[in-house]
């Protein structure tokens, strides 16, 4: 039976609505439970990038996931789409000052259960090679780009 207001059913479940206080939105569990959630801001945009790698370890949980939100970079065990990662326990978490990660990718050819190379690109032009399993920072490339820019720091 159609109702007033465009013929939508009265039992429709809304996933978002706007009030004068702001936008209320139904969030997936993985986004809602993320530590240090950034408040919703419709004016700004923090692009999120995601990278995956399979380490072929013996446990059967060889997939790893890396994503960035703003100035933070997270590294987790990925158990597939049916089972959410425990976002309160990252394998590695990094917070950058002065610049933020804009892209990243794993070296799939050299990845092992003990070590993985992750190349991270930053908003000021630097590129950093890190190992999130060993929690090591190997090398920072284009560091001179930041030094030449007024007010640039990493």
The pLDDT profile of the chain, 154 residues, written as one tens digit per residue, is 444 555 556 677 788 888 877 777 887 766 655 555 555 554 456 678 889 998 877 777 788 899 998 899 999 988 877 787 778 889 999 998 888 899 999 998 988 888 999 999 998 889 999 999 998 877 788 877 655 555 544 4
Kindly provide the residue ranges of all beta strands, DSSP E only, lying in the chain, ordered along the sequence: 16-19, 22-25, 50-54, 63-69, 72-77, 92-95, 101-106, 118-122, 127-131, 136-141
**pTM for the whole structure:** 0.61
Range of the domain at 144: 22-39+48-148
Q: Is 31 helix (H, G, I), strand (E, B) or coil?
A: helix
Is 3 part of any domain?
no
C-alpha to C-alpha distance for 115 and 118, rounded to whole angstroms? 10
Task: Quote the pLDDT of residue 42.
Answer: 47
Does residue 99 fall inside a structural domain? yes
Say how many domains are in the chain.
1
Residue 15 covered by a domain:
no
In a domain, 59, yes or no: yes
């Amino acid at each position: 039976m159609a109702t007033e207001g465009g013929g939508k059913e009265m039992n429709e479940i809304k996933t978002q609505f706007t009030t004068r206080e702001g936008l209320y939105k139904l969030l997936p569990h993985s986004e809602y439970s993320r530590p240090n959630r950034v408040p919703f801001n419709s004016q700004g945009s923090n692009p999120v990038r995601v990278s995956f790698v399979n380490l072929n370890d013996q446990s059967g949980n060889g997939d790893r996931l890396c994503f960035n939100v703003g100035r933070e970079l997270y590294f987790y065990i990925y158990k597939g789409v049916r089972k959410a990662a425990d976002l309160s326990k990252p394998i590695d978490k990094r917070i950058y000052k002065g610049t933020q990660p804009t892209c990243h990718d794993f070296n799939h050819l050299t990845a092992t259960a003990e070590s993985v190379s992750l190349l991270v690109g930053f908003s000021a032009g630097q590129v950093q090679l890190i190992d999130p399993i060993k929690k090591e920072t190997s090398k920072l490339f284009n560091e001179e780009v930041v030094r030449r820019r007024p007010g640039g720091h990493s």
